[in-house]
């Protein structure tokens, strides 16, 4: 491990706005963490709504949203400590009391949040996980986990460059009759306007630099006994992230 990462990890231990609990640090992930059910009283010290950013990376969205909405609390979640260091450090330097970061796997959300503790979720540019549905952050597998911690009809937001994940999520909404509040396949060339969507993550700027379109979905998540996994074939994406070999974008995807 490089010295820069070690320095960041050491500094993270001093941040009051970070909770670190990876699988290697805490093997028993079935027992609820002491913060579960106590985010309002013990962490934020207010009763404002709690909003999560899943796979927050460097925390650009977490911090940006917190600046826009001081009357809400925001928690950025990622397993990569060296990434969330940037957002956590900025929030500390700016004395932002409505920002927190949780270092853990997203699969373990129910260990860190109690029933009805979360009002809204943002999923910003996740890996589309085209090979395995249970790893997709908009799959029925994850909807069940979100349902356990969110208020009934809580809001889920998805921003993605991936035509595959966008279409898959639309099929998920259809299969489960989730109310869709916003649906745009080309956010920055549409009539839809919202100051929140002017925030751009590190990865979003990469996609825009490559001339790719950004898709946005905002939908409600009703509490249900079961969630149906869509049984459809969806065309796979034909490109990859920076730093990997990738094919020329298929013109049929209109990106």
Q: Which DSSP letter does residue 27 get?
A: S
Contact assessment for residue 123 and residue 166, using Cβ atoms and an 8 Å cutoff? no
Contact assessment for residue 128 and residue 165, using Cβ atoms and an 8 Å cutoff? yes
- The residue from 127, 161, 191, 194 that is catalytic is 127
Q: Are strands 215-221 and 99-103 parallel, antiparallel or unpaired?
A: unpaired
Residue 223 tokens, joined: 């509490």
The tally of CA atoms less than 13 A away on the side-chain side of residue 182 is 18
CA distances from 63 to 76, 93, 203, 204 (A): 9, 12, 16, 16
What lies within 8 Å, CB to CB, of 18 at 6+ separation is: 12, 84, 88, 100, 101, 102, 103
Question: How many Cβ atoms are within 10 Å of 161's Cβ, its own excluded?
Answer: 22
SS3 call for 33: coil
Q: Confirm whether 127 is a catalytic residue.
A: yes
Contact assessment for residue 123 and residue 135, using Cβ atoms and an 8 Å cutoff? no
What is the rounded CA–CA span in Å between residue 175 and residue 161? 22
Residue in this structure with the two tokens 């809400």, named with its chain if needed: 72
Contact assessment for residue 101 and residue 77, using Cβ atoms and an 8 Å cutoff? yes
Question: How many Cβ atoms are within 10 Å of 199's Cβ, its own excluded?
Answer: 18
Residue in this structure with the two tokens 């996740």, named with its chain if needed: 126
Active site residues: 127
């Amino acid at each position: 491990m490089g010295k820069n990462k070690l320095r960041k990890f050491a500094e993270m231990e001093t941040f009051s706005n970070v909770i670190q609990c990876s699988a290697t640090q805490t093997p028993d992930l079935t027992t609820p963490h002491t913060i579960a059910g106590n985010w309002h009283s013990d962490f934020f010290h207010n009763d404002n709504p709690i909003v999560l950013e899943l796979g927050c990376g460097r925390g650009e969205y977490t911090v940006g949203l917190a600046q826009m909405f001081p009357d809400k609390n925001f928690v950025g979640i990622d397993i990569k400590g060296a990434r969330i260091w940037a957002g956590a450090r900025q929030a500390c330097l700016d004395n932002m009391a409505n920002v927190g970061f949780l270092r853990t796997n997203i699969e373990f959300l129910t260990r860190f949040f109690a029933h009805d503790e979360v009002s809204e979720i943002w999923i910003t540019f996740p890996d589309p996980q085209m090979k395995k549905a249970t790893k997709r952050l908009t799959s029925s597998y994850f909807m069940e986990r979100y349902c356990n911690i969110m208020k009934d009809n809580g809001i889920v937001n998805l921003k993605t460059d991936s035509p595959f994940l966008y279409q898959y999520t639309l099929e998920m909404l259809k299969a489960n009759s989730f109310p869709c509040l916003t649906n745009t396949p080309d956010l920055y060339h549409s009539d839809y306007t919202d100051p929140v969507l002017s925030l751009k993550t590190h990865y979003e700027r990469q996609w825009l630099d490559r001339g790719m379109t950004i898709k946005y979905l905002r939908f409600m998540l009703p509490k249900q006994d079961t969630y149906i996994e869509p049984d459809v074939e969806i065309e796979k994406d034909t490109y990859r992230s920076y730093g990997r070999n990738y094919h020329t974008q298929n013109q049929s995807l209109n990106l």
